Structure 1
Amino acid sequence: MSEEADAIAAEIGRRAASGCAWHDIAVIYRQNRLSRAIEEALIQARVPYEIVGDVGFYQRVAVKDALALLSLAARPDDRQSDEAFRRVANKPTRGLGAKGLGAIELRARDQDISLLAAVSETRLSQKAAAALREFERVVREIGAQEDLTVGDRMRLLLEDTGYYDMLRADDSDEAATQMENLAELADVADRYRKIDHLMEHASLASGAPGEKGKERVQLLTMHRAKGLEFRHVFLPAWEDNLFPGTNARNLDEERRLAYVALTRAMEQATVTSCDYRQGTSSTPSRFLNDIPPGNRISHWNWQVGQGAIPSTRSAWEQTRRELDALGL
């Protein structure tokens, strides 16, 4: 979906350059998981966005923890890494309570050293001292290895500090989701040669949600879009087996969602579909057939990459009255 997402981000940029405010643009999708590629594309294009009713990828707990570990390993003796230490020093639990952390803070301040460096200089309980010194050793050793990619460094830190084991021991759906988030973050990290570049990318995303709804493109599901309107709406992944999905028991309900999504646009709704998605051929959503041909404007045919199949995009301009007459 990355080529589709990149194209949507580029088109959003063009419309903004033509005078459309960011908050007048929305990307509406059937499933939450479809937001990830869109989010990454908007970050790369430096388009401000807000995920309505959900937390942005780089704001998720496990993702922030993994980035903190990377930051700490990259600059273990830098006071700028202190916030990262506070975030992950007791994940998994190492017997570090408020009193112990306070003692480390005082030692670091008195000696003008980082919190990680202050661990070995601070009198702590036997359990906390042993666990934290092992944590310091792991972080420093992995941080000093020059032959690791950013993604592999992150994976090794998560493994050797016990973070992965902490999640594996938790059989909740939340823990499983966090493991998936970490796997996805590692894939993103593999694209970067330097930790600083990944951190810059993440910081752009972290700044994106900001002031909710103010000059930001809105990303939201079809269900959350009910009752809202935008000048321009983008509707990605309109393909059979995605929308409607393979397990769509109630086709009429899915069709009503299509109607909801289309009618969020006051000026233009742009529907996108891919000829191939994740190596498998795709068929445009059957719901496209419900749109009268005279109301469609077909464009956006381009090569998505060397050896790739051209993706077909359909867009149309509709008034609310015309859409109401469709009976979707």
Structure 2
Amino acid sequence: MFKLEENFRSTRHILDASNAVISFDPSRIEKRLFTRRGEGLPIEVLGFSYATEEAAAIIREIGRRAATGVAWHDMAIIYRQNRLSRTLEEALLHARIPYEIIGDVGFYRRTAVKDALALLTLCAWPDERRSDEAFRRMANRPPRGLGARGLGKIEMEASTGGLSLCAAATRTRLSPRCAVALQGFVQILRQIGCREGESLGERLTGLLEATGYLDMLRADDSDEAATQRENLAELIELAQGFRRVEHLLEHAALAGGAPGEKGRDRVQLMTMHRSKGLEFRHVFLPAWEEAIFPGAMPRNPEEERRLAYVALTRAMEQATITFCDYRQGGSSRPSRFIDEIPLENRVSSWNHGRNEPRQSDGRWRQVDQELNALGL
């Protein structure tokens, strides 16, 4: 057996931290990576109260490093679950930092999120033509027996009577099964739309439950369905911060309108699975919390550990781990993987000034000016 133990990518602090984490995997063939790239910088481990605070801090640090000469494409944010990108995307957009999501689409372009926003649109304006596209999207999700021919009949009824598709659906002659299902769907929309005293998050939860959408996802045990449920939980939490449907839809349209066209010089966002084989000078690893990574009941605990190893070793020069005390309305605690990193290989602060090129006071004033111009 020949062990390939020399790592040509990362510095010693990063490799020592990675070796320590993966050493707890009992199925791994024993080997210890080494590097000739020098000691480098210790792993930055920082805690925050909330996800918005965490995202703002990461994006400000990205802006600071860019102002000192680090290219956007040399920095990456790598997370365990794709729903975690939402707060990061919004912070990047606010700061006007170009970014690209690798192997995925922006939060507001994901199927479950678009479906949920369509339900809210139908609930708010069932008798207005602006809800027609939402009806086309959701009338048969989950399946209610409505095919292209049935939808065509509804379209004709709406055109003849000057009605919205939602209103026309209950007046159109369809097969008995489809007619009953659509009448029930429209009734749910109208009943929930008339409720008073509910928050927007509660209304959205009610729509997803009553229409059978969540049951459809629960019946699917695939990873994709689980991811869609996570995205919906993130959207429900976001909706709690809005009082009116139109305000949430406007926010989604603005935030989802430009997730960053593909280009050479952009900050890279991706899941840990997508990061395999890639490398970046600076890597940010948010949400290292027990509820998320490795998760409350991981299907394969050792696979989670290997992902931690992969995520850390994507970094060539600097790796930053962050966690929050509260996320999605619940308390959380730091990931066990953080405790497994030796104290000599991590610091509980930014590595500002450590082994960085010395800058004159004038240069740092310029950095501050550039950060302000970025909105950071």
Give TM-score scaled by structure 2 length.
0.64
Q: Distance in 2 between matches of 1:34 and 1:227?
A: 21
- After the TM superposition, which of the residue ranges 137-146 and 65-74 deviates more from structure 2? 137-146
Correspondence 1:167-246 to 2 at 5 A: 167-209=217-259, 211-213=261-263, 216-221=266-271, 224-225=274-275, 233-237=282-286
1:128–1:214 distance in 2 versus 1, CA, 3 Å: farther
Equivalent residues, number: 295
Counterpart residue number, 2:3: none
Q: Greater relative contact order: 1 or 2 (C-alpha under 8 angstroms, separation 6 or more)?
A: 2
1:314 aligns with 2:332: no
Match for residue 333 of structure 2 among 262, 277, 280: 280
**Mean alpha-carbon deviation: is it higher for 127-136 or for 165-174?**
165-174
Name the structure 2 match of 1:159: 209
In the TM superposition, 1:65-214 aligns within 5 A as 65-209=115-259, 211-213=261-263
**Aligned CA distance change for structure 1 residues 52 and 317 (closer, same or farther; 3 Å):** farther
SS of the residue 1:280 aligns to: coil
Letter in 2 for 1:80: R
Between the aligned residues of both structures, percent identity stands at 53
The question of whether the paired residues in 2 share the 8 Å contact of 1:272 and 1:312 is answered with no
Of stretches 87-96 and 203-212 in structure 1, the one that deviates more from structure 2 is 203-212
In structure 2, stretches of 5+ residues that fail to align are: 1-49, 296-300, 358-376
2:284 maps to a residue whose letter is L
- Residue pair 1:94, 1:128 contacting (<8 A) in 2 also: yes
- Distance (Å, rounded) in 2 between the aligned partners of 1:187 and 1:249: 29
How big is the alpha-carbon RMSD for the aligned residues of Structure 1 and Structure 2?
4.0
Structure 1 pair 150–27 and aligned structure 2 pair: CA distance change class (3 A):
same
Deviation at 1:68, TM superposition (A): 0.6
Distance change in 2, residues 1:239/1:82 (3 Å): closer
1:162–1:223 Cα change, 3 Å: closer
Residue type at the aligned position of 1:122 = T
Distance in 1, Cα, partners of 2:64 & 2:111: 34
In the TM superposition, what is the alpha-carbon distance from 1:252 to its structure 2 partner?
9.6
SS in 1 for 2:314: helix
Residue of structure 2 in register with 1:53 after alignment:
103
SS of the residue aligned with 1:62? helix
Partner Cα distance (1:100, 1:4) in 2: 49
Using the alignment, how far apart are the partners of 1:119 and 1:275 within structure 2?
47
Summarize the Cα distance change of 1:22–1:145 in structure 2 as closer, same or farther, 3 Å threshold.
Answer: farther
Q: Distance in 2 between matches of 1:256 and 1:95?
A: 46
Q: 2:183, 2:287 → 1: CA distance? A: 53
Alpha-carbon distance between aligned partners in 1 of 2:274 and 2:345, rounded to the nearest angstrom: 23
1:109–1:216: structure 2 CA closer, same or farther, 3 Å change rule?
A: farther
Gap change, CA 1:215 and 1:105, over 3 Å in 2: farther
Instruction: Deviation per CA, 1:299-324: give whole Å up to 9, x if none.
Output: xxxxxxxxxxxx733356679xxxxx
Q: Which residue in the other structure is 2:44 paired with?
A: none
In the alignment, the residues of structure 2 paired with residue 214 and residue 123 of structure 1 have an alpha-carbon distance, to the nearest angstrom, of 54
CA distance in 2, matches of 1:241, 1:136: 41
Structure 2 equivalent of residue 271 of structure 1: 320
1:294 equivalent in structure 2: none
The amino acid across from 2:239 in the alignment is: A
Given the two structures, how large is their TM-score scaled by the length of structure 1?
Answer: 0.71
Query: Are residue 261 (structure 1) and residue 319 (structure 2) matched?
Result: no
